Amino acid sequence: MKPWPYPRIIAHRGGGTLAPENTLAGLRKAKEMGYAGVEFDVMLAADATPILMHDETLERTTNGRGAIAETAYRDMEKLDAGSWHSAPHMGEPVPSFERAGRLCIELGIWADIEIKPAKGYEAETGRAAALLARELWRGAPMQPLLCSFQPASLAAAKEAAPELPRGALTKRIPPDWEHWMQVLGCVSLHCDYRLLQPREARAVRDAGYWLLSYTVNDPHIVRVLFDWGVDAIITDRLDLIGPDFA
Ligand code: G3P
Ligand code: CA
């Protein structure tokens, strides 16, 4: 099996706990800490602009109110997505996926792009994220990985930009995981480390797929997972794990 070609330690939602999630400040923080790979979430605003956002509503991470799918990006752009984290980040904007992607390329950091659709927008979000990723990373030395918990998003990404690699996200690895990997043409399976068994890790690797685990914040657990054959982990604790943990 080809070795995992991307960074083994991936910063969760941009800068993990060190910066407001899914912001340009988070991507810069990851780079500043020496991380070569970041994960972030892509959702569609009401006008179908792909943006970086985890929740389906604005309340937790911005000073706005309401549903992402009902808010146009021109209104979201004015919001403060940094104050909830800390005062120095006051005024940090909600970035468009386009700006975030361009920044990753400029900083030379690899992107693990989670397609995070609001309910009912699974295929639309998968298609939009894949088409924009194709355009942004055209000719770039390292292609991003598109992943999702939603099979419909992965299917739409596959149809729109089949050449971009895809990863299937799951909490526990389901009994029919191999079927889904084949149908969706995925190269990697990403699971919750707390629900992973060593025999499952072996089975995934033996079947020729890469295996990732989230969200791992304890260096001892990273060591155990790597011993089980996990290829890469996603962490919130950029300060504890370190980009070169191997
Ligand atoms: O990429 C895995 C991880 O990000 C999934 O969980 O809730 O942080 O998007 P969540
Ligand atoms: Ca995510």
The pLDDT value given to residue 147: 98
3-state secondary structure 65-115: CCEHHHCCHHHHCCCCCCCCCCHHHCCCCCCEHHHHHHHHHHHCCEEEEEE
CATH of residue 231 = 3.20.20.190
What's the whole-number mean pLDDT along residues 201-212?
98
Strands 9-11 and 232-235: parallel
Residue 78 lies in a domain: no
Residue 244 lies in a domain: no
Q: Which residue range(s) make up the domain with 37?
A: 9-58+95-235
Nearest ligand to residue 192 Cα:
1
Closest ligand 1 atom to residue 10 Cα is 1
Q: What is the pLDDT of residues 170-191, one digit of tens each?
A: 999 999 999 999 999 999 999 9
Residue 131 lies in a domain: yes
Question: For residues 98 and 24, what is the distance between their CA atoms, to the nearest angstrom?
Answer: 11
Q: Of the residues 189, 192, 193, 214, which should be mutated to test ligand 1's pocket, given the most ligand atoms within 8 Å of the CB?
A: 214
Residue 164 sits at φ, ψ, to 5 deg, of -80, 135
Number of domains in the chain: 1
What's the whole-number mean pLDDT along residues 56-66?
98
Closest ligand 1 atom to residue 147 Cα is 1
The pLDDT value given to residue 60: 98
Contact 107, 26 (CB under 8 A): no
| Residue 237 CA to ligand 1 centre (angstroms) | 14
The pLDDT value given to residue 243: 97
Contacts by 54-59, CB closer than 8 A, 24 or more apart: 54/13, 54/21, 54/22, 54/116, 56/118, 56/119
Residue 107 lies in a domain: yes
Question: For residues 62 and 93, what is the distance between their CA atoms, to the nearest angstrom?
Answer: 9
Kindly tell me if the per-residue pLDDT of 217 is higher than 90: yes
What's the whole-number mean pLDDT along residues 78-86?
97
Question: Considering the entire predicted model, what is its pTM?
Answer: 0.98
Closest ligand 1 atom to residue 116 Cα is 9
Kindly tell me if the per-residue pLDDT of 57 is higher than 90: yes
| Residue 235 CA to ligand 1 centre (angstroms) | 10
Question: For residues 227 and 164, what is the distance between their CA atoms, to the nearest angstrom?
Answer: 29
Contact 211, 173 (CB under 8 A): no
Kindly tell me if the per-residue pLDDT of 6 is higher than 90: yes
Count the neighbouring beta carbons within 10 Å of the beta carbon of residue 23.
Answer: 25
What's the whole-number mean pLDDT along residues 56-65?
98
Banded model confidence at residue 228, pLDDT cuts 50, 70, 90: very high
Residue 177 lies in a domain: yes
54 part of the active site = yes
Closest ligand 1 atom to residue 114 Cα is 1
| Residue 89 CA to ligand 2 centre (angstroms) | 21
Q: What separation, in Å, do the N-terminal and C-terminal C-alpha atoms of the chain show?
A: 19
Q: What is the pLDDT of residues 120-173, one digit of tens each?
A: 999 999 999 999 999 999 999 999 999 999 999 999 999 999 999 999 999 999
Residue 216 lies in a domain: yes
Q: Which two tokens stand for residue 77?
A: 């752009």
Residue with tokens 């054959």, as numbered in its chain = 229
Residue 32 lies in a domain: yes
- The ligand 1 site (C-beta within 6 Å) comprises 12, 39, 41, 54, 114, 169, 190, 214-215, 234
Residue 154 lies in a domain: yes
Banded model confidence at residue 246, pLDDT cuts 50, 70, 90: confident
190 part of the active site = no
Banded model confidence at residue 1, pLDDT cuts 50, 70, 90: confident
The pLDDT value given to residue 75: 97
What's the whole-number mean pLDDT along residues 219-234?
98
Nearest ligand to residue 215 Cα:
1
Nearest residue by C-alpha to atom 4 in ligand 1:
12
| Residue 220 CA to ligand 2 centre (angstroms) | 22
